[in-house]
Amino acid sequence: MISQDLAQQLHDAGVRWRPQAGDRFAVRSAELDGEVFTVADMVVEAREYPTGTLLAFNGTTEWALDSVQLDQALWLPLEHQLRDLLGPAFRGLVPGPAGYEVRVQIPGRSAGATFTAVEVADAYALALLALVGAVLA
């Protein structure tokens, strides 16, 4: 799982989240710092309203959080979700001397780009940041 800092960078770069069962997220709150939640129909349910998406906490009697607006949540995308977001730009994943290397083709560049991190998900996230930055530039 990527860090909240890297997840925040993805959000700030324009990566948006449509909650699905199995997704992980954090709530932007000092009281819940470090807590990770999972969207699940029985526990945390994403409810769509005309005014926006609400993450409803069902059956959580141990603390008084009923729901949070989507903009109060920070998506912590999983490895497969990050790879999917890379789409056709993704060229490969290989082990490297410093961890894992994700190879992508950035639009507008003739040569491919490689992003390295100790964790696979972090390498995917770094590649996605570069891809989003290039597309939105």
- Residue 69 has, within 13 A of its CA and on its CB side, a CA count of 5
What pLDDT is attached to residue 108? Answer: 84
What pLDDT is attached to residue 55? Answer: 82
Q: What is the pTM of this model?
A: 0.83
Per-residue confidence in pLDDT tens, the chain, 137 aa: 899 999 999 999 999 999 998 999 999 988 888 889 888 766 777 888 899 988 887 765 445 556 788 899 999 999 999 999 999 999 999 999 999 999 999 988 888 999 999 999 999 999 999 999 998 87
Phi, psi of 69, deg, nearest 5: -70, 150
